[in-house]
Amino acid sequence: MSEWKEYKLDDFADINPTEIVPKGFSAKKIPMELIQPFTKRIPGYSVEEYKGGVKFRNGDTLMARITPSLENGKTSFVDILEDNEIGFGSTEFIVFREKDNISDKHFLYYLATSPIIRHTAIKSMTGSSGRQRVQTDVVKNHSFEAPDLTEQRAIASVLSSLDDKIDLLHRQNQTLEQLAETLFREWFVEQAEEDWEIKKLLDVVDISIGRTPPRKEFHWFSTNSNDVKWISIKDLGKAGIYVFDTAEYLTTEAVEKFRMPIIPKNTVVLSFKMTVGRVAITSEDMLSNEAIAHFKFNDQTIFSKEYLYLYLKTFRYENLGSTSSIVTSINSRMIKEMEIIIPDTKTMDFFRSKTENMFLKIKENQKQIQTLTQLRDTLLPKLMSGEIRVKN
């Protein structure tokens, strides 16, 4: 690594470069909520009147500078603008731009997502609890070593190839799920037959509710993947259709002591408190907190998990009422009283034949996404620090 050169970040990149967008001019806006943790591609934008905020061009990197967005990994690469078009976004972004003959724009994105910059940025945060922000001057003056442009581009090419494949698989899954949902709506919402039965969910599936051990006894919780995965509402929000990863685990001792209801694999689960309507399917035996309901098939169940998943995803939960005046929130009694349309067996079998392979493909893609993400996250710090070298 002796040929790598030491830089201050301010000498390696243009930070918050000056751009001009007239007040009142309509331009593409990227809000903080659109940035996904550790995801290079930005999924969309809105067009709004410019009233303030950071400005950027294609090729720039946006990094959140406020808690908890920075800690969660909200950093993305801008590529949704036209040539010479200027976009804008939250004042809570820091913008990084490559410098001619010094830095590569894709390498700069991976530098911003690496511990080299992230750790310094997080340590520099000041302010009141819950509203802490990065001290930009501290980040600008941070020193690190970087290779020449040729090696920067080689490193970025390796990591970009993984991110491109991950993005492709995500988009395939979105397309497949949208297709399955379109079929569901056409068959069972827009053209529902009058003679189809309507039953209470409690009569056709076994419903159980998760449980949370006392948080004051933290020894029940674990980060050890050998323990039992424990699903939270946040995990459902990141899951796609199938739940593979969870942020926390519960020890076997906790499972036994608190008689935690095990969720078998291929069980449909639903969040019903505070954040209502997040639906997923378990990929293995798991547990959940008390805000999640589990729907296990029994002898009375004649529909498929694909049908139940889509039914719960498209259900209008506001029609059940709410236990809160602030947000839509329902309870276990409301869930058990929910009604579900039961199509005839022939229609149900035909729908299963159309959607089962779609869901299997989504599951395979999710497994591959998981593997590629782990590979990228393992390689990233090693490549950016020079522990692993890429010449071409």
Q: Indicate whether 44 pLDDT > 80.
A: yes
Q: Give the domain CATH number at 96.
A: 3.90.220.20
Q: What is the pLDDT of residue 302?
A: 87
Mean pLDDT, range 347-363, rounded to an integer: 95
- 121 lies in the same domain as 208: no
In a domain, 129, yes or no: yes
% of the chain residues with pLDDT over 70 = 96
Q: What is the pLDDT of residue 359?
A: 97
Which of 7-11, 43-47, 191-195, 311-315 is least confident?
191-195
- 307 lies in the same domain as 204: yes
Q: In whole numbers, what is the pLDDT of the chain averaged over residues?
A: 91
- 142 lies in the same domain as 203: no
Q: Indicate whether 315 pLDDT > 80.
A: yes
Rg of the chain (C-alpha set): 24
Task: Look at residues 84, 115, 146 and tell me which one is the last residue of a structural domain.
Answer: 146
Which of 106-110, 130-134, 275-279 has the largest mean confidence? Answer: 106-110
Cβ count within 10 A of residue 207: 16
Enter the tokens of residue 20.
């001009």
In a domain, 379, yes or no: no
Mean pLDDT, range 352-381, rounded to an integer: 96
Number of domains in the chain: 2
In a domain, 169, yes or no: no
- 222 lies in the same domain as 320: yes
Q: What is the pLDDT of residue 88?
A: 95
Which of 27-31, 72-76, 335-339 is least confident?
335-339
- 16 lies in the same domain as 80: yes
In a domain, 186, yes or no: no
Quote the CA–CA distance of 208 and 336 in Å, as a whole number.
Answer: 10
Q: Indicate whether 233 pLDDT > 70.
A: yes
In a domain, 364, yes or no: no
- 37 lies in the same domain as 121: yes
Between the alpha carbon of residue 202 and those of residues 199, 346, 352, the distances in Å are 8, 23, 22
* Domain span holding position 91: 5-146
Of residues 23, 87, 91, 19, the one with CA closest to residue 54: 91
Task: Look at residues 86, 113, 146 and tell me which one is the last residue of a structural domain.
Answer: 146
- 139 lies in the same domain as 246: no
When pLDDT is cut at 50, 70 and 90, the band that residue 200 belongs to is: very high
When pLDDT is cut at 50, 70 and 90, the band that residue 15 belongs to is: very high
When pLDDT is cut at 50, 70 and 90, the band that residue 218 belongs to is: low
Quote the CA–CA distance of 190 and 188 in Å, as a whole number.
Answer: 6
Quote the CA–CA distance of 377 and 243 in Å, as a whole number.
Answer: 20
In a domain, 160, yes or no: no
- 210 lies in the same domain as 118: no
Q: pLDDT for 153-170, tens place per residue?
A: 999 999 999 999 999 999
Mean pLDDT, range 112-116, rounded to an integer: 95
Q: Indicate whether 328 pLDDT > 70.
A: no
3-class DSSP state of 380? helix
Q: Indicate whether 325 pLDDT > 60.
A: no
Contact between 305 and 265 under an 8 Å Cβ cutoff? The reply is: no
In a domain, 132, yes or no: yes
Q: pLDDT for 65-111, tens place per residue?
A: 999 999 989 999 999 999 999 999 999 999 999 999 999 999 999 99
- 256 lies in the same domain as 142: no
- 203 lies in the same domain as 337: yes
When pLDDT is cut at 50, 70 and 90, the band that residue 190 belongs to is: confident
Of residues 240, 232, 224, 342, the one with CA closest to residue 288: 232
- 336 lies in the same domain as 205: yes
- 231 lies in the same domain as 98: no
Q: What is the pTM of this model?
A: 0.87
Q: What is the pLDDT of residue 327?
A: 52
Of residues 314, 315, 309, the one with CA closest to residue 356: 309
Mean pLDDT, range 282-298, rounded to an integer: 93
Q: What is the pLDDT of residue 239?
A: 78
Task: Look at residues 113, 146, 179 and tell me which one is the last residue of a structural domain.
Answer: 146
In a domain, 377, yes or no: no
Between the alpha carbon of residue 118 and those of residues 14, 125, 326, 361, the distances in Å are 17, 11, 35, 35
